[in-house]
Amino acid sequence: MFTWSQFTNANPAIVQSPMAGYTDSAYKQIARMVAPEAVVVTEFVSTDALYYDSPKSLRMIAFDECEHPVILQVFGKTPERFVAAAKKAEAMGYDGIDINMGCPAKKVIKSDHGSALVKIKNRCVAMQIVSDMARAVKIPVSVKTRIGWENADDLVDFCKELEKNGCAAVTIHGRTTVQGYRGEADWEPIYELKKNLSIPVFGNGDITSVSSFRSKLGNLDGVYVARGTFGDPWILQDLLEYSRNRTQYDQLSDEQLDEKFPRSENIPWDKKLPVILRHCELAVKCKGEKLGMLEMRKHLAAYIKGLPGARELREKLVRVETYSEAGALLLSTSGP
Ligand SMILES: Cc1cc2nc3c(=O)[nH]c(=O)nc-3n(C[C@H](O)[C@H](O)[C@H](O)COP(=O)(O)O)c2cc1C
């Protein structure tokens, strides 16, 4: 049976959660550079687009060797296309393939993709996708989903069936599909699920600090962190450091813990600057200067959040077109 230790020595596992428009190769390389024991996941890629070798999707799945262990996340609804994607992932050297069964976007679920796969009417297809993929490749096939469509009543049964069909691990975002991103993530159903499965179970939702990680981890095998990494890949490193020395840090109160592991706005600028510049460099290397820097604008705005004079600086950074323009602005900045 797949054990997470095949991927990483970190226990619990700390995973850069997939985010469309964010977790491209440059973002994942930065996550691995800052937190070398973190596992990274691509943004979701369409199995249909991969099936037709769409140049855009082929660019999306290209990765650098330093990203290992790296998981490809895919979405779709046709078992044969998922199998083709799994074979492609394995041939490319991906360490795992993850099926998106959690995306709540209207255009995604309207075509029975993403979260729609958890609906009763699509249950057979969801299980067929998992079992066909698990039989077709040696790399682990995992599923990322939510606690349920409207409530968590069906979570245990659904995931037990996934496990029976060869799913190697599940990641559960503690919100329902109907909820989207509203309200707080509810981790209780995830702890309950863990008691009922033998495969690794990862929790996800609202980890924004070391103290929130400590309070949410419970009995789980690890966590996926998404929005908490915006402008702050250091959160992954801090969660790993906390996990390695838990007995020492658990003497601290939440306030002391968060003081020990300050979030991005309080991280010294001289520690952040080289990482931000490297992120720009990688973006340009992966996508060319025009597109790379265009896409960097949102990351730059996130990196400088909370800095003195951030508002004026952001206005300039969201207009940069070249690496040297961004570099000059960043180098003229002094932070905490
Ligand atoms: C901009 C954005 C894009 C996302 N794209 C994906 C995706 O491609 N695949 C996926 O499984 N989840 C995706 N998610 C969901 C996140 O991985 C995660 O489950 C969710 O944001 C909750 O975690 P958080 O509270 O740590 O952000 C996305 C979330 C955001 C904010």
b or e along 30-66 (b: 16 or more beta carbons within 10 Å of the residue's beta carbon)?
bbbbbbebbbbbbbbbbbbbbbeeeeebeebbebeee
- Please report, for residues 240, 287, 310, 314, the alpha-carbon distance to residue 318 in angstroms, rounded to integers and kept in the order given: 32, 18, 12, 6
Contact 11, 38 (CB under 8 A): no
Res 144: pLDDT: 98
Residue nearest atom 13 of ligand 1, based on CA coordinates = 19
Check pLDDT > 80 for residue 2: no
State if pTM tops 0.85. Answer: yes
How far, in Å, is the centroid of ligand 1 from the Cα of 226?
A: 6
Alpha-carbon distance of 198 to 168, in angstroms, equals 9
Q: What is the pLDDT of residues 115-162, one digit of tens each?
A: 999 999 999 999 999 999 999 999 999 999 999 999 999 999 999 999
CB distance 284 to 275 below 8 Å: no
Asked if the model's pLDDT at residue 250 lies above 70, the reply is: yes
Q: What is the pLDDT of residue 4?
A: 76
Q: Where are the alpha helices (DSSP H) in the chain?
A: 25-34, 47-51, 55-61, 79-92, 106-110, 123-136, 155-164, 188-196, 210-216, 234-244, 246-249, 254-260, 269-287, 289-303, 310-317, 323-331
Residue-wise pLDDT tens digits, 174-227: 999 999 999 999 999 999 999 999 999 999 999 999 999 999 999 999 999 999
Comma-separated ranges of CATH 3.20.20.70 domains in the chain: 4-261
pLDDT at 335 over 70: no
The CATH 1.10.1200.80 domain(s) of the chain lie at 269-331
In the set 103, 159, 280, 286, the catalytic residue is: 103
Q: State whether the beta carbon of 132 lies less than 6 angstroms from ligand 1.
A: no
Contacts of 24 (CB under 8 A, 6+ apart): 42, 43, 60, 283, 286, 287, 295
- Backbone φ, ψ for residue 253 (5° rounding): -75, 170
Atom 4 of ligand 1 has which residue's CA nearest to it? 19
Class of domain 269-331: mainly alpha
The one-letter code for the residue type at 40 is V
Q: Whose CA is nearest to atom 5 of ligand 1?
A: 19
Write the single-letter amino acid at 274: P
Q: How far is the CA of 324 from the centre of ligand 1 (A)?
A: 31
> Ligand 1: which atom is nearest the Cα of residue 206?
25
Of 40, 47, 7, 29, nearest to 280 (Cα)? 29
Catalytic, 66? Answer: no
- The pair phi, psi for residue 223, each rounded to 5°, is -135, 155
* Assigned architecture for domain 4-261: Alpha-Beta Barrel (3.20)
pLDDT of 5 over the 90 cut = no
Neighbour tally for 170: CB within 10 Å: 26
Q: At residue 64, what are phi and psi to the nearest 5 degrees?
A: -95, 150
**41-75 pLDDT, tens digit each:** 999 999 999 999 999 999 999 999 999 999 999 99
Instruction: Give the pLDDT confidence score for residue 336 in this predicted structure.
Output: 60
Residue 47 beta carbon below 6 angstroms from any ligand 1 atom: no
